[in-house]
A and B are shown apart, each in its own frame.
Chain A
Amino acid sequence: MTLLGENHITEEGQFVINMGPQHPATHGVLHLKIWLDGETIKKIEPHLGYIHRSIEKMCESLTYRQYIYTTSRMDYLSAHMNNQACALAVEKGLQIEASPRAQAIRVILAELTRLASHQLWWAATGLDLGGVTPFFYAFREREAINNILEETCGTRLTQNFVVPGGIMYDIHPNFQNHVKQVIKQIKDNFHEYDEILTGNVIFQNRLQGVGYISKEDAISYGCTGPTARASGVSCDIRKQFPYDGYDKIQFDEIIATGGDCWARYEVRMAEMLQSVHIIEQLIDNIPEGDFQTKTKAVLKLPKGEFYQRVETARGELGVYLVSDGAATPYRCKFRSPGFSNLSAIPHMAKEAKIGDLMAIMATVDLVIPDIDR
């Protein structure tokens, strides 16, 4: 009998090591128990719960206005999309819709958040695979995006800018100018990303052919987001179940067929440019009107169940609300993208080398607070 976090050798001669919960390459407190034969991974068992804060249970004691802020702390890199999902679920229950102006601003902010999230992912991927310099190039643009979010929302990371029926405040007077500046900056500097990391042969060799997952497996493991789209699954919620006016916007769903780490890398890089394309369409055409639909002081959802999904930077986030007619949810469940994507990692990393596990985890883009909630 061995303890949970103890390294030991099994009877078959496999070496069991524990990666995490404090390993710097795991992006947080994820504990992976790895069975190794030499350097080859035979089995991986993820252990969760180190950052469990019972957000779902907390939401049951918070009103429909208050519960939105907790979800910023789930997937903190796509906080705005989490808030958007919660607000949309409440709006579905109340049978109201945000005004076109609020919808456009929500979409712009969501795409800015997606850009910031993908840039952090790009930076961290380089860092995981041994390149420190890319980190600073990605953070140059991310800083500009965060300054815009700070100017309009008030905070850089955990925004809580979405309220049921619209957004909290109207946009800052400088918002449009600054967004145009950052779009130009990203478009001008995007070739630097390719020069420093994408074109690097060492980096390419570490990703190509590593961590393969087939289309069928990606579907059966419930992968969503860029992880599944890299295996050829068409699963962009923005296209398939449009919300907040995504159906009126022209953009491509990026699908690759490689299924390996390199395909996941390419999908995310192409998605950044699509986000830029979406913002370009909207930034000059924000409709006039109210930024908030009038709602009652105390929101009460009718009896029933409401489900709303959005596409966050990592995949499909589902918010499932059960209401018994009171001012607080009876039950609140989040279907987080990270959890399903994590469940595919043991499959992807089977028979891979332990050094490749870093590449696999980096390209799946795990955010541990999202997995544990």
Chain B
Amino acid sequence: MFLKDYFGTIFKSVKSLLTGMKLTGYYFTHLKEIVTEEYPDNRATLKMADRFRGEVIMPHNDNNEHRCTGCQACELACPNGTIKIITKQETLPDGKKKKRIDTFVYRLDMCTFCNLCIVACPSDAIVMGHKFEHSVYDKKQLKKILNNPDSKLMEGVEE
């Protein structure tokens, strides 16, 4: 009786091990079912999801115009103080004085990609970009100015 139990246990253990090994063997011989992505070799074909949060960017059109009115809603919405907007007074062609953005400072090193600034923006001036390879040698490079030099506010945004 003792021997029967003893060998029974060994048989059960070996059987359970073989069941697992069989599964491993299946995937070893069916290479097509392996799902590993070979980053960075697949960089050319790598496509991020539409809503992927890589970094905050400010799209400009062909005439170097952006949509940011400098309302600072994103600055208030940001939990970490990632965004800082410096404004200036600008004289329009018709003589009126208006507030315009001078620099839109975005500190990537402090950003947690919570998306609250994008949701807060009333004029869709900033969006989340898909770039995610952000490593640099100097942390100063992570402090970015999002508006292009000499860029202007797009017409029709501020109404």
Establish whether residues A160 and B13, one from each chain, have CB atoms under 8 Å apart when the complex forms. Answer: no
Q: Do A66 and B20 touch (CB < 8 A)?
A: no
- In the bound complex, do residue A160 and residue B115 qualify as a contact, i.e. CB atoms below 8 Å apart? yes
Stretch at the interface among B38-46, B49-57, B60-68, B147-155: B49-57
**Given A140-B35, A154-B53, A172-B50, CB of A69 within 8 Å of CB of B20:** no
Give A154 to B127 CA distance when docked, in angstroms: 12
Question: Do the beta carbons of B53 and A199 come within 8 Å of each other?
Answer: no
Interface size on B, residues (CB 8 A): 25
Mark contacts of A191-203 with chain B using CB atoms, 8 A cut-off: 1 yes-contact digit, 0 otherwise.
0100111011110
B51 A201 Cβ-Cβ under 8 A: no
A151 in contact (CB, < 8 A): yes
Contact with B along A126-168 (1 / 0, CB 8 A): 0000000100000010010001001111110010100100001
Q: A160-B115, A200-B16 are in contact. Are A172 and B51 (CB under 8 A)?
A: yes
The reply to whether B23 and A153 form a contact with Cβ atoms under 8 Å apart is no
Is the pair B115, A200 in contact by a Cβ cutoff of 8 Å? no
Report the Cα distance A65→B120, complex, angstroms: 11
A7 CB within 8 Å of chain B: no
- Which residues in window 18-37 of B have CB below 8 A to A? 19-20, 22-24, 35
Q: Which of A69, A152, A192, A195 contacts B114 (CB 8 A)?
A: A69
Which of B35, B49, B52, B112 has its CB near the most chain A CB atoms (within 10 A)?
B49
Contact yes or no, B116 A199, CB < 8 A: no
Distance (Å) between the CB of A131 and the closest chain B CB? 8
Q: How far is the CB of B93 from chain A (nearest CB, A)?
A: 33
Contact string, B1-29, partner A, CB cutoff 8 A, digits 1/0?
A: 00000000100110011011011100000
Which chain B residue has the least Cβ–Cβ distance from A161?
A: B115
Residues of A within 8 A of B52 (CB): 150, 154-155
Interface string of B103-135 (1 = CB under 8 A from A): 000000000111110010000000010000000
A158 cross-chain contacts in B, Cβ below 8 A: 112-113
Decide: B23 and A195 in contact? CB cutoff 8 A: yes
Smallest CB gap from B128: residue in A: A154
Residues on B with beta carbons closer than 8 Å to the beta carbon of A200: 16-17, 20
For A153, give its contact among B22, B51, B116 (CB under 8 Å).
B51
A151 touches B49 (CB 8 A): yes
Tell me whether B142 is interfacial, beta carbon within 8 Å: no
Q: Which residues of A contact B58 (CB under 8 A)?
A: none
Other A-B pairs, 8, CB within 8 Å; known A199-B19, A202-B17: A69-B79, A133-B20, A140-B35, A151-B51, A155-B52, A160-B115, A195-B19, A196-B20
Q: Which 5 A-B pairs give the minimum distances between C-beta atoms?
A: A69-B114, A66-B79, A154-B51, A201-B13, A196-B20
